[in-house]
């Protein structure tokens, strides 16, 4: 993997102030905002992932993703509470959670493809199961249409600058040096 290649706009552990101390101090407001979003995301993850799904798949995927992820998350919590009365409900709860994490990993894998970010679906599944609020936050920020449009505009400006540079280099005469081999 190329460390300078395409990547998500936010790393998975950024909400936890994991940067070096001098960077954390310089970006304390943005990191604090990420941390607050992380605290809200365990409940809002189905909505966040559904919005991302509508951006990377199609707008018709919003409601099916929202409903299915909400049901799986609700069933995970409900079946754990049901365990108090019915022995063995915990197993169905974890199956619901795995289905929930799988749904998130499918959207993350598609976002990788959409953003040309290298990676493996198994990696997407693992981080979706272990850090789903961070994954949802990462997807929301990285697929935000306003930021994508800003990146495209910056890339177009950079191409114009480079094109202008190449035109200016065309006017520079080439200097040929004749060297004789003895």
Spell out the per-residue pLDDT of the chain, length 182, in tens: 677 889 999 999 999 998 888 888 899 999 999 999 999 999 999 999 999 999 999 999 999 999 999 999 999 999 999 999 999 999 999 999 999 999 999 999 999 999 999 999 999 999 999 999 999 999 999 999 887 666 666 666 666 666 665 555 556 566 666 666 55
With helix as H, strand as E and coil as C, how does 37-88 read?
HHHHHHHHHHHHHHHHHHHHCCHHHHHHHHHHHHHHHHHHHHHHHHCCCCCC
Given this model, what pLDDT does residue 5 score? 85
Given this model, what pLDDT does residue 180 score? 60
pTM metric for this prediction: 0.80
Given this model, what pLDDT does residue 164 score? 60
- At a CB cut-off of 8 Å and minimum separation 6, what does 60 contact? 54
Given this model, what pLDDT does residue 154 score? 63
């Amino acid at each position: 993997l190329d460390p300078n290649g395409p990547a998500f706009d936010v790393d998975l552990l950024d909400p936890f102030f994991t940067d070096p101390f001098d960077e954390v101090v310089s970006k304390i407001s943005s990191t604090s905002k990420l941390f607050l979003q992380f605290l809200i995301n365990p409940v809002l993850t189905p909505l966040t992932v559904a919005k991302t799904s509508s951006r990377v798949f199609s707008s018709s995927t919003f409601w099916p993703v929202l409903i299915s992820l909400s049901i799986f998350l609700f069933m995970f919590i409900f079946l754990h509470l049901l365990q108090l009365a019915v022995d063995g409900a915990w197993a169905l709860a974890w199956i619901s959670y795995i289905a929930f994490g799988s749904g998130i990993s499918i959207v993350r894998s598609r976002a990788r493809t959409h953003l040309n970010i290298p990676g493996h679906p198994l990696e997407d599944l693992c981080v979706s199961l272990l850090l789903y609020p961070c994954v949802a936050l990462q997807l929301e920020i990285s697929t935000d249409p306003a930021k994508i449009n800003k990146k495209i505009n910056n890339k177009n400006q950079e191409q114009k600058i480079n094109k202008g540079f190449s035109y200016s280099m065309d006017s520079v005469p080439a200097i040929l040096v004749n060297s004789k081999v003895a």
